[in-house]
Structure 1
Amino acid sequence: MEMEKILLLPLIFQVFLCAIPTIHAAPGNSKLFREYIGAEGNNVKFSDVPINSDVKFHFILSFAIDYATSVSPTNGNFNVYWDKQNLGPSAVASIKALKPNVKVAMSLGGDTLGGKFVHFAPKSINSWVSNAVASLTRISKEYDLDGIDIDYEHFSSDPDTFAECIGQLLAHLKQNKIVSFTSIAPYEGDSVQPYYLTLWKKYGHLIDYVNFQFYAYDKGTTVSQFMKFFEDQSSNYRDGKVLVSFSTDGSGGLSPANGFFEACGRLKRLRKLHGIFIWSADDSKKAGFRFEEQSQNLLTSIQ
């Protein structure tokens, strides 16, 4: 009988361990601020946006798209569709020289082009990756870019093909030092999440930031709902740096007026505020970028 008790101890201990809730390791607070810019043709310039010298600031040019026109996918041959007049190579060089804490990235894909959905539509993994590496290396060198963001939102492929194409692309760009950081920009929904979760499972070690589009949730989102959404996505993108976000176009999610910065304060106290990003500078211009200033002040405040 005593021997049976001894033999049972390891099993009981295993059951006890399984009953303990999994606690995901938090990367900790960060002073990272990111902003998408250039997608809407509102003549916004880098120099229009207030930049706090104490933050780590990323501009994300929007978008590079592997389309020749709004209806012609090019199988990985990317072209620049952001505001090249105001946000060209000389403008990138100027803002980086003026503000040493600024890095500039480009985002791939986006929602629409010419009023039509932008689809991820590779002909094959090998051909898409080959074309993407060549075209994005050229754009990155021309603009002296530091990073790349993945923001495809519509797909004409399966999740595994997307994961292999994007994963192999990120691996090449990082290994060859074409970019120094990478991010993805998923949002909740069965039409999008399976693609990014498959990518994360296979290539998450190559992804530095998760620009989760919390503004894609309902417009009436409350602080408590937002906190739950954040925990849900932190679990989905386990051990990743999930950034919080809001939009200045008046769309959805938790807005600054309804408690976004209160939620950020809570996350900061929990040491889970990995950074803030905003969509987008183009929409913020008419309001004078006041939420950009408030976001950066919160990131740099002592708490």
Structure 2
Amino acid sequence: MAVKNEFNGVKFSDVPINPGVEFHFILSFAIDYTADGSSSIDGHFNVFWDIDNLSPAQVAAIKHNKKTNAVKSLSQIIREYNLDGIDIDYEHFSADPDTFAECIGRLVTTLKNQGVISFASIAPFDDDQVQMHYRALWNKYGNILDYVNFQFYAYDSSTTVSQFLSYFEKQSSNYPGGKLLASFSTDSSSGGLSPAKGFFSACRTLKKQGKLPGIFVWSADDSMKYGFRYERTSQLLLASSPS
């Protein structure tokens, strides 16, 4: 979208923006001419757009608006439900990794600074695009992210204990310094290392090595049919002393 120098009083807020598309304003024009446009001034550029309605403050405001909407709506939900944190679980991306990292990083930073949340986690899995985006986020904002809720159940259902431990080591190196959670699924359609095939054996090994800050289970809806026995086992393992 180009905002041209016709001085008709057009404001950023006048332009409809579909939230489902990537949208850019182009301010036109900045040119290397005198203020009245009469002659060139050898590379010294001047603004030739409506600075009353398209001022630096208004540029900042329109760029800030989307993050403000996210902060406002999430804060309302978090406070209404008395929640403690958020889990970032984007799995499909239209933005590049740097943009994703900056937007999510600023959002989490703002929510923490305002005391809305006390922790935040991310939920990547082993896919090139997913990892590219989350690692960009981690590299820039890892200091404000408390847990890496890695979806180990996205690996193949034939995963063995030794493979799981290898995957865990690999993801620890991908998110250095992070509290990496082991995870499994009670959903029969998911993969990874299941409790029946040695998940808790792998977790005991990680616990002995001092590498197990927590366990994530997907999901309560599916666990209900098992009477939540795997959740109970997970908690007993985490509460026990390493042996």
TM (norm. structure 1) is 0.59
Structure with more strand by fraction? 1
In the comparison of the two structures, how many residue pairs are matched? 187
Do the aligned residues in 2 keep the contact of 1:276 with 1:295 (CA within 8 Å)?
yes
Measure, in 2, the Cα distance between the counterparts of 1:289 and 1:122.
43
Structure 1 counterpart of 2:169: 231
Superposition deviation, residue 156 in structure 1: 1.2
Structure 1 counterpart of 2:209: 270
Give deviations 1:82-120, integer Å, cap 9, x for gaps: xxxxxxxxxxxxxxxxxxxxxxxxxxxxxxxxxxxxx9x
Secondary structure at the residue paired with 1:272? coil
Structure 2 counterpart of 1:300: 239
Secondary structure at the residue paired with 2:203? helix
Superposition deviation, residue 123 in structure 1: 4.8
Do the aligned residues in 2 keep the contact of 1:185 with 1:211 (CA within 8 Å)?
yes
Measure, in 2, the Cα distance between the counterparts of 1:128 and 1:273.
37
Q: Give, as a single letter, the amino acid of the residue that structure 1 aligns with 2:213.
A: H
Secondary structure at the residue paired with 1:294? helix
Q: Give, as a single letter, the amino acid of the residue that structure 2 aligns with 1:226.
A: F
Give deviations 1:57-97, integer Å, cap 9, x for gaps: xxxxxxxxxxxxxxxxx84xxxxxxxxxxxxxxxxxxxxxx
Q: Does the C-alpha gap of structure 1 residues 170 and 228 become closer, same or farther in structure 2, counting only changes over 3 Å?
A: same
Measure, in 2, the Cα distance between the counterparts of 1:238 and 1:175.
24
Q: Give, as a single letter, the amino acid of the residue that structure 1 aligns with 2:185.
A: S
Superposition deviation, residue 145 in structure 1: 1.1
Measure, in 2, the Cα distance between the counterparts of 1:180 and 1:287.
32
**Residue 218 of structure 1 pairs with residue 182 of structure 2:** no
**Residue 258 of structure 1 pairs with residue 197 of structure 2:** yes
Superposition deviation, residue 258 in structure 1: 0.5
Measure, in 2, the Cα distance between the counterparts of 1:193 and 1:130.
27
| Identical counterparts, % of pairs | 62
**Residue 177 of structure 1 pairs with residue 177 of structure 2:** no
Superposition deviation, residue 122 in structure 1: 6.1
**Residue 131 of structure 1 pairs with residue 69 of structure 2:** yes
Q: Give, as a single letter, the amino acid of the residue that structure 2 aligns with 1:270.
A: Q
Structure 2 counterpart of 1:85: none
Structure 2 counterpart of 1:34: none
**Residue 188 of structure 1 pairs with residue 126 of structure 2:** yes
Superposition deviation, residue 187 in structure 1: 0.4
Give deviations 1:124-147, integer Å, cap 9, x for gaps: 763331210111111111111110
Superposition deviation, residue 191 in structure 1: 2.3
Measure, in 1, the Cα distance between the counterparts of 2:153 and 2:195.
11
Query: RMSD over aligned Cα, in angstroms?
Result: 1.7
Superposition deviation, residue 286 in structure 1: 1.3
Secondary structure at the residue paired with 2:183? strand
Q: Does the C-alpha gap of structure 1 residues 216 and 193 become closer, same or farther in structure 2, counting only changes over 3 Å?
A: same
Q: Give, as a single letter, the amino acid of the residue that structure 2 aligns with 1:172.
A: T
Structure 1 counterpart of 2:90: 152
Q: Does the C-alpha gap of structure 1 residues 278 and 218 become closer, same or farther in structure 2, counting only changes over 3 Å?
A: same
The list of structure 1 runs, each at least 4 consecutive aligned residues, that deviate by more than 4 angstroms after superposition, is 121-125
Superposition deviation, residue 161 in structure 1: 1.0
| 129-138 vs 200-209, greater mean Cα deviation | 129-138
Q: Does the C-alpha gap of structure 1 residues 277 and 122 become closer, same or farther in structure 2, counting only changes over 3 Å?
A: farther
Q: Which runs of 5+ in 2 are unaligned?
A: 1-17, 25-62
